[in-house]
Every structure is written in structure tokens, then in C-alpha cells.
Amino acid sequence: MNKIQIGINQRIPISLLEMALFAALQGKATPEYYLELAGTEIKGDNRKRKAVTILNRLTLRNPLMPVLQENADAVVAALRSKKDRPILFAAIVNAAYSFGYDLTAILGKYLHVQKEVTTALLTSKLAVKYGSNRSLPNAMNSIIPMLIEAGLFSRPRPGFYQVVKHKGFSPLAENLYRRLFFQHNPMLPENSDVSTHSYFEFIEY
């Protein structure tokens, strides 16, 4: 039995998320368009319908969407920047799914003290909060490939993860990444120095 609901069991290619985000920023996102998008890379009616639900949560229902819409032009520019994309997509994915935030923070904690982290270690630490039934590996197999594809961290070989240090990103990307952190830590003042928190292990100031 899960201790906390995870809410995701299917990977969304970053290319689909990017197109869905463009549509949301332009006010052109519809269930029909998202279903059409899903059909370009995903097979099976049930999986396509699930993809539409996930795309909605990642974009239109994302807690960061008001800020993304207010800064639409800058977000579009960030999506075209190799330095911004990992930070931006990580913020979007992890804002929509708390599981992604927890996974990233735990990964950062152990990568701070060792070169690689294994799937087994990551699974054991996440299981403390989320339980250890089938939904946990399904969620990991959904979120991890998305964050790797975005470029937040790397997988040099199956079952092993390494840190990637990001620098030179825009103030917008950093602001969204920070906002996401405080979304998951609402008791902390937003002017807190959080640079040493494990979630920021992937950022180099």
C-alpha cells in the first residue's frame, strides 16, 4: 500500500512536453491537440489517453503555469537555450509531480558524497515515503527518463546515475527552479539561502 499517492506511471517524451507547453503558452492547448500530439509517439488508445492527462498536469494544471504565461516570451527563449532547458524542464516536471521533486532531492543528497547512485539505493530511499509496491518502480521509470532526457543528470550505464553541474542559465530558469523548491517547502521563507540543499546539487553558482 502506498503511503502517498504518486500520480504518474507513464513517461512523456520531452519533445511532446515542449510542444504541449508551446500550445499552452499560446492559448492553443486543447484535449484534441494533446491527443494528436500523443499519437505521434505513443501507441495504444489507453496509453494515449493517459498521456493527455499527464500533459494537462504538466502544462495547463501546473502550479508554475501562471508564471510561465506571464513570462511567455522569455520561456520560449529559455526552451531554445541548451543551458536553460535542463533547469526549466526539471522545474516543470517536479512542480507537477512531488515524486519528481523528492527523487531529485534524494539523488542530489547522495551524489553530493559519492560519484554514482544506483537504482537500488534510490528505490530504497523513496520507498520510505512512497511505499514499495509496483507503483514505485513504474513512477521511477516514468520520471527518471524524463529528467535524463531533459539533461538534469546522466545515466552512464543502466542502473547508475551521475551528477551534471549546470551553470550559465538565465535568471528566469533559476527563478522557476527556486519557486519549485519553495512550493515543496512552504514553511521556509522565500529569501532563505537554499543553495546547499540537496535539490540544488545540480546547479553551480
Q: What is the pLDDT of residues 148-162, one digit of tens each?
A: 999 999 999 999 999
What does the mean pLDDT of the chain come to? 94
Whole-model pTM: value is 0.94
Task: Calculate mean pLDDT across residues 37-42.
Answer: 94
| Of 127, 143, 141, 190, residue with least CA distance to 14 | 143
pLDDT band at 1; cut points 50, 70, 90: very low
Domain spans, the chain: 8-61, 81-200
**Grid coordinates 546547499 are at which residue?**
196
**Torsional class of 44: left (φ above 0), alpha (ψ -120 to 50), beta (otherwise):** left
